[in-house]
Every structure is written in C-alpha cells, then in structure tokens.
Structure 1
C-alpha cells in the first residue's frame, strides 16, 4: 500500500468550506484513480488540515499529488494561509480492525 499525505494551513473559520469543496471536487477525482483505497482528513486546533490518501499503486500515489495540487491551488487557494505541503511513500505498517 502507498500513501499520499498533504498538509494545509487554513485561514480561521474555513474548515467547513474546505470540507465542502474537497468532498465535491477532490474526492471524486481520487476515487477514479487506479488503486484508490481510502481518504482521511484530520483538522487540528490551529486550522491545519492533514489528509491521507491510500492507494495500492505506487505510481498513482506519487502522481496523485501532481494531479491534485493544481486543483488545490485553484479551488482552495482563497481558504489557505500558506502553501500546501505534500509527501508520498510506501506504507510499511498497517494495523486496523
């Protein structure tokens, strides 16, 4: 399994708008990607949003950031207080129920 992690700092009060836009725009794009497994989003108290996308395909995990960054900048730009950070890599431990 492979993961793409994105970290975004939102302007205060923008979490609800971020959630609405991502559900309507980015999630459908990811679901169409080969090997898409899951998408999770965590919001911390300081309005930092961390998202985790999981894929079975390494190349798609790596390219998901290239695919989504233009969408993020175009659609989420007004909500951001800093540029997004992105990393991707292999999941080496996976525990769950």
Structure 2
C-alpha cells in the first residue's frame, strides 16, 4: 500500500473547507484505481491534514495530481499557503 499526506496551514474557514472536500473531493478520491481510504483532519489553529491510502504507488501519485487541481479550482480562497505534500510506501498499519 501507498499513502499520500497533505498538510495545509492557514486555512481561513475550516468548516467550509471540510464541506467542500466532503462534497467535491471525496467522490473524486473514491474513483481513483486502488483507493483504500481518505481522511480530512482538522488539527486546529488553521491546520488541516489529508491522508489518502491506495493499493499501489500509481493511485497515490494520481491522488496528489487530483488534489492539486482540486485545491486550485475549489479551495484557493480558503488556503493562504500551499500544502506540504508527502507520499510513500505504507510500512506498518493496524
């Protein structure tokens, strides 16, 4: 399995960002081949984190591309900084 993590700082309206992600982005993630799970986390203080898990590297990489396009088109007004993006092989899970 492979995962992608995106950390967003300076989110101006976390509730609205969560609504937009839940209604628009989550359905896109479910369509990516190899999709396993997706989480959007409100870490507080204007920080939100997304975690995507896929069966293979191709799915994780596709999710990063889709997320970039989605953020530009739908969340740019709510985000003051570009996300920190990390991806890699899942080496332990529960």
1:8 is displaced (CA, Å) by 0.9
TM-score w.r.t. the length of structure 1 is: 0.89
| Cα distance in 1 for residues equivalent to 2:75 and 2:65 | 15
Matched pairs, number: 93
Instruction: Provide structure 2 residue ranges, at least 5 long, that are not aligned to the other structure.
Output: none
TM-score w.r.t. the length of structure 2 is: 0.92
**Judging changes above 3 Å, is the alpha-carbon distance between structure 1 residues 45 and 67 closer, same or farther for their aligned structure 2 residues?**
closer
Query: Partner residue of 1:78?
Result: 77
Instruction: Provide structure 1 residue ranges, at least 5 long, that are not aligned to the other structure.
Output: none
The answer as to whether partners of 1:62 and 1:89 remain within 8 angstroms in 2 is no
The answer as to whether partners of 2:32 and 2:62 remain within 8 angstroms in 1 is no
CA-based RMSD of the aligned residues comes to: 1.0
Query: Partner residue of 1:8?
Result: 8
Query: Partner residue of 1:69?
Result: 68
| Cα distance in 2 for residues equivalent to 1:60 and 1:35 | 6
Would you identify which runs of 4 or more consecutive aligned residues in structure 1 move more than 4 Å? none
